[in-house]
Amino acid sequence: MNEEIYKMKFTMTKIAAGLVMAVAASGAYAIDEAPDGGIGTVVDFNVTGGTFAMADPTQTISFGPLGWDMVDAGGATGSKAALFQFFFKPVNVFTNTPLATDDAPFGGAAVPGGNFVTGTTTASTITMDLSSWTNNWGTNGGTNFNTGLSPVTGTYDSTTGAFSLSWSKIIVGGSFDGNEAFWTFNGVAAAAPVPEASTYGMMLAGLGLVGFAVRRRKLIA
């Protein structure tokens, strides 16, 4: 009887140890759901304002918050109407990917896009794939043109999540063919830590120990 109690206690101890290892490992790479901060893979990317210029980078037009999360806005679902006025007509923006066949939510011809918006951060830098950044100018269909670029690298504050990005792109096709577009983004991004190989090892070891203990207990029973 005492031997069975001892074996049971020993088994429970191993299970508890395994669970502790697994939980500790999982906590090392849990996604930070806070609205800002973090280092690693960008999981939330919101633009609170910025500037746009074409041909002359000194003649900028300012705009406010985009109002949607660029990381979650895949394809044409990330549309934002009338971002600002350019030559007396509205400029609309959307993330245009090659996977979509109808990625012209404001009319006009479809244009080549890029990858879904993704990125990574360090303590002081942010690097984003903004190749899908596409625009529509005018009314009643207007003209679509891609001004996206990858990679775009800027400054990042891992404590607050504040970032700033700037880039330029020569426009191909449409009414502004050959012109250079200039963008500046300011906003807040959140990042989740990238798991290290040792973290995966700890978690697997912990789960393996739990499985071994449970199997041993069944055999004893």
Encode pLDDT of 11-54 as tens digits: 544 444 443 343 333 333 333 344 579 999 999 999 999 999 99
Q: For the ranges 9-18, 44-53, 76-85, 151-160, which has the lowest average pLDDT?
A: 9-18
Is there a contact between 146 and 172 (Cβ–Cβ < 8 Å)?
Answer: yes
Is this prediction's pTM over 0.75?
no
Residue 6 has pLDDT above 80, yes or no: no
Q: Distance between CA atoms of 107 and 104, rounded to whole angstroms?
A: 5
Is there a contact between 134 and 95 (Cβ–Cβ < 8 Å)?
Answer: yes
Q: How many CB atoms neighbour CB 88 within 10 A?
A: 6
Consecutive H or E run containing 12: helix 2-27
Residue 130 has pLDDT above 60, yes or no: yes
Is there a contact between 126 and 119 (Cβ–Cβ < 8 Å)?
Answer: yes
Q: Distance between CA atoms of 90 and 214, rounded to whole angstroms?
A: 65
Q: How many CB atoms neighbour CB 124 within 10 A?
A: 10
Q: How many CB atoms neighbour CB 60 within 10 A?
A: 15
Is there a contact between 95 and 105 (Cβ–Cβ < 8 Å)?
Answer: no
The percentage of residues in the chain with a pLDDT greater than 90, rounded to a whole number, is 41
> Domain extents for the chain?
2-29+197-220, 40-192
Give the model's pLDDT for residue 100: 59
Q: Which among 188, 198, 192, 208 is positioned nearest to 36, based on CA atoms?
A: 188
Give the model's pLDDT for residue 115: 86
**Position 100, amino acid:** A
